[in-house]
């Protein structure tokens, strides 16, 4: 028997090993938790150890010959089998799946190696034994060879292999990295927000434990897993693994960096990063004091509502005609594809209708009292009536008076009788009012002007919020300079929102050096980056001092570039920005000479409805400068303006106001008649709005005063009856112009009659 082979040796290692194997086999036979990673491989290993055990049972307790290699391998195998048993016993659903895979597969690899070593030693001893040819020896050899074959042919899942390859190829081979990431995500079921959040918390808790025990090797391993989690999140966002809402893709920057939850209640932590409230609260509730994104130590665990991100999300819901989930109901399964579950205890960001929003006024000359403010100032993504979430700890009531919006006027085009307009230094964006509710404070109203000082009572929470905003803006400005387009785009998008509604934020952004990098991004090849950058600059221009700084930084040419290459929203907001900068007297002529007129006319011809309106607004303000009128006519604007006089376009008032300005030069009058504008303008006098009638009368007056031919064409269109009506019931200016025209007709008729008498 084997006693003769081995002789005398200590048998405690064999006995302990046999006991450990028996306990491990029993444990795995009782396992019911199918959620444990690599559980299947542990069960296979238990089966193989079951085949090894009879071989070891052949050794009795008599003294055996000393064989140091064998009992050393048995001792080591015993240690690692017990470690594996403890690993399985201690595992819980709250344990990190990634760490479980790495540690579990490492244990299995070691157990396999020591088992093969023991089998190898036994085979070698049997081959050198005189009893190896006996029947018992042959049986033992057969059992050992069977164990060796099983151990060598066993192919575990090796998820840890994909993890290693992911970390190895993350900087060199993005395709390979993505393939391995896909395997990790699928194998471990990291496909839902809550699983990712739980995984992040579990990994961080392990980090805290090993840092406290100063276990440097384990800390290094966990740092790699943290890097891997970041790669997984980026991969899932990039590949749209969290689906859409009613078929509409959810922008990645609406996702919580910690859990990838749709941020319905975004808050800012001490590091300046924004997270979904419920996700970061779970993180903090576990005693974790490290920022999940920056890995900075959090100086405090207070969270501050991120109003700007809430407003962006509310706009996104409104513009995509989606209904945000409320606190009393969870999103039903039909609203989302994928495994993204959106629930919140407090989604209080209400989208205010335009008639309940406070407005930002664009004052142009003496006509400020007649501006129609019925269209939002920022178009595209920000074009709908903007909201500011009013979160009050003591009251759930939301008052329309406490909401605020950053709005664009119906424009000076529909507000001013352009023929009578006298340019002045007051043609600027001179007053911007914002209202902002602070918890437990009186709402303060501030206005920006060249000479006004703002008075604002700040509580400690205000100061903390301002400091947080400053830190956040500084981080965003650095991201604007980062060569990674994703960071640039996200930073521009957040600055866009920060500057949209808040006066103080504009000042902070302007002083933090964001203007230069934002202007540089206007030449980006990525259209969404252009859009965010141009809209951010447009919002910043609402501050008079910042507007001048942006203008002097060379904004005109980049805006023209966006008008040529941008998406629809970027073009719209670029045109709106040119209007804003044209309010600076010195820049009307600069913009006109820059080539901007041609691209604005192109937008007027082929843009979206919003783009056409923005182009008309900018062209109107440029046309106040006499030199620009000829440029606008030569660029072919009149043809498109005449086409837009049709009521169905919704641009009658804007178009006729600009035509009124252009009709003050001969080229403009000739183009209006040539393009067939006279019949349409007469029709506006008869059935247009009060503002439209006034400007239409201005056009007709210019045409008739300078050309008898045009006068006859106007009369042939039956202009007299509507002019008579206008002279009695129009605005003061409209009545004056109608009376002037009627008087001119009488003079013309009397002159003709006098000639006939002669």
Q: What is the pLDDT of residues 211-221, one digit of tens each?
A: 888 788 888 88
Q: Are residues 361 and 308 in the same domain?
A: no
The verdict on residue 409 lying in a domain is yes
Domain boundary pick from 396, 424, 447:
447
299 lies in the same domain as 399 = no
- 279 in the same domain as 384: no
* Pairwise CA distance, residues 716 & 285, whole Å: 81
What is the b/e burial string over 521-546, where b = at least 16 CB atoms within 10 angstroms of the residue's CB?
A: bbebeebbbbbbbbbbbbbbbbbbeb
Burial of 415 (0-12, 13-18, 19+ CB in 10 A): buried
Q: Which of 197-206, 340-349, 428-437 has maximum average pLDDT?
A: 197-206
- Residue 673, pLDDT > 90, answer yes
Q: Are residues 378 and 263 in the same domain?
A: no
Give the pLDDT mean for 450-469: 47
At 530 the pLDDT is 94
What's the Cα-to-Cα distance from 219 to each of 103, 213, 215, rounded to whole Å? 13, 10, 6
* Domain boundary residue, one of 447, 482, 517: 447
**In Å, what is the CA distance from 66 to each residue of 2, 13, 130, 136?**
13, 12, 18, 22
Mark whether 21 and 142 lie in a shared domain. Answer: yes
Q: Tell me what the mean pLDDT of segment 482-507 comes to.
A: 89
Answer yes or no: are the C-beta atoms of 173 and 115 closer than 8 Å: no
Question: Encoding tokens for residue 129?
Answer: 């034994």
Residues 327-344, mean pLDDT to the nearest whole number: 33
Say yes or no: 369 and 307 in one domain.
no
- Average pLDDT of the chain, as a whole number: 75
What is the residue range of 268's domain? 245-315
Burial label for 478, CB within 10 Å (0-12, 13-18, 19+), is middle
Task: Report residue 157 as tokens.
Answer: 């899942």
- Nearest alpha-carbon partner for 157 in 40, 298, 250, 49: 40
| Distance from C-alpha of 751 to C-alpha of 757, rounded to nearest angstrom | 10
Cβ distance 124 to 144 under 8 Å?
no
Cα–Cα dist 758/743, whole Å: 23
Residue 390 lies in a domain: yes
Same-domain check for residues 279 and 386: no
For residue 448, the model assigns a pLDDT of 27
**116 in the same domain as 9:** yes
How do residues 369-407 score in pLDDT, each as one tens digit?
222 222 323 333 322 222 332 233 333 333 333 332 333
Mean pLDDT score, 245-268: 85
Question: Does 286 share its domain with 381?
Answer: no
pTM over 0.85: no
Q: Please tell me the total count of domains within the chain.
A: 4
Per-residue pLDDT, 345: 28
* 106 in the same domain as 52: yes
The verdict on 306 and 434 lying in the same domain is: no
Is 107 a member of any domain? yes
Which of 428, 447, 466 is the last residue before a domain boundary?
447
Model confidence at 656, in pLDDT bands (50, 70, 90)? very high
């Amino acid at each position: 028997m084997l006693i003769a082979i081995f002789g005398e040796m200590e048998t405690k290692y064999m006995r302990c090993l046999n006991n450990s194997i028996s306990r491990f086999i029993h444990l795995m036979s009782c396992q019911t938790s199918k959620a444990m990673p690599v559980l299947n491989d542990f069960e296979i290993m238990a089966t193989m150890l079951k085949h090894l055990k009879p071989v070891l049972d052949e050794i009795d307790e008599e003294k055996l010959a000393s064989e140091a290699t064998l009992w050393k391998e048995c001792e080591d195998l015993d240690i690692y089998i017990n470690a594996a048993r403890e690993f399985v016993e201690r595992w819980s659903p709250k344990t990190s799946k990634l760490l479980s895979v790495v540690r579990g597969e490492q244990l299995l690899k070691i157990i396999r190696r020591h088992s093969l070593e023991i089998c190898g030693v036994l085979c070698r001893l049997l081959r050198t034994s005189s009893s190896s040819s006996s029947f018992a020896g042959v049986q033992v050899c057969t059992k050992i060879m069977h164990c060796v074959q099983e151990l060598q042919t066993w192919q575990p899942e090796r998820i840890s292999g994909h993890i290693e390859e992911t970390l190895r190829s993350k900087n060199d081979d993005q395709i390979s990295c993505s393939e391995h990431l896909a395997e990790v995500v699928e194998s471990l079921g990291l496909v839902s927000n809550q699983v990712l959040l739980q995984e992040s918390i579990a990994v961080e808790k392990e980090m805290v434990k090993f840092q406290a025990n100063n276990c440097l090797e384990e800390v290094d391993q966990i740092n790699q897993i943290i890097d891997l989690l970041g790669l997984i999140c980026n991969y899932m966002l990039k590949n749209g693994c969290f689906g859409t809402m009613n078929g509409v893709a959810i922008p990645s920057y609406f996702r919580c960096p910690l859990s990838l939850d749709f941020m319905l209640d975004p808050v800012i932590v001490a590091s300046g990063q924004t997270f979904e409230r419920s996700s970061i609260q779970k993180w903090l509730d576990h005693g974790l004091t490290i920022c999940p994104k920056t890995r900075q130590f959090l100086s405090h665990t207070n969270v501050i509502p991120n109003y700007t991100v809430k407003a962006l999300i509310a706009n996104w819901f409104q513009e995509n005609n989606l209904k945000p989930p409320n606190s009393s109901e969870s999103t039903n399964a039909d609203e989302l594809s994928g495994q993204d579950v959106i629930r919140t205890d407090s989604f209080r960001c209400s989208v205010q209708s335009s008639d309940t929003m406070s407005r930002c006024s664009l004052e142009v000359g003496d006509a400020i009292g007649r501006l129609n403010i019925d269209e939002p100032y920022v178009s595209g993504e920000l074009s709908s009536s903007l909201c500011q979430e009013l979160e009050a700890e003591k009251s759930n009531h939301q008052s329309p008076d406490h909401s605020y919006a950053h709005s664009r006027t119906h424009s000076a085009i529909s507000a001013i009788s352009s023929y009578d307009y006298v340019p002045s230094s007051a043609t600027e964006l001179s007053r911007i009012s914002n209202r902002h509710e602070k918890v437990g404070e009186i709402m303060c109203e501030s206005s920006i002007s060249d000479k006004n000082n703002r008075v604002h009572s700040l509580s400690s929470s205000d100061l903390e919020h301002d400091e947080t905003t400053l830190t956040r803006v500084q981080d965003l400005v650095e991201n604007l300079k980062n060569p990674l387009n994703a960071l640039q785009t996200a930073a521009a998008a957040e600055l866009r929102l920060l500057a949209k509604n808040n006066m103080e934020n504009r000042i902070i952004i302007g002083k933090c050096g964001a203007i230069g990098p934002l202007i540089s991004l206007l030449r980006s090849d990525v259209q969404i980056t252009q859009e965010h950058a141009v809209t951010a600059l447009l919002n910043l221009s609402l501050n008079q001092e910042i507007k001048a700084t942006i203008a002097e930084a060379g904004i005109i040419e980049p805006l023209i570039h966006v008008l040529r290459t941008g998406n629809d929203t970027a073009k719209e907001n670029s045109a709106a920005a040119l209007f804003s900068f044209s309010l600076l007297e010195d820049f009307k002529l600069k913009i006109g000479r820059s080539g901007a007129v041609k691209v604005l006319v192109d937008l007027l011809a082929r843009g979206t409805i919003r783009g056409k309106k923005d182009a008309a607004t900018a062209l109107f303000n440029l046309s106040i400068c006499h030199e620009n009128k000829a440029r606008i006519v030569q660029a072919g604007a009149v043809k498109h303006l005449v086409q837009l006089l049709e009521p169905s376009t919704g641009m009658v008032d804007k178009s006729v106001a600009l035509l009124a300005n252009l009709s003050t030069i001969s080229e403009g009058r000739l183009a209006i008649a040539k393009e067939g504008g006279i019949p349409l303008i007469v029709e506006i006098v008869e059935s247009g709005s009060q503002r439209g009638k006034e400007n239409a009368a201005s056009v007709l007056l210019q045409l008739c005063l300078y050309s008898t031919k045009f006068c006859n064409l106007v009369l042939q269109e039956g202009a007299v009856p509507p002019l008579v009506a206008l002279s009695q019931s129009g605005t003061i200016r409209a009545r004056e112009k109608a009376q002037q025209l009627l008087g001119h007709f009488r003079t013309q008729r009397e002159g003709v009659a006098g000639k006939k008498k002669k």
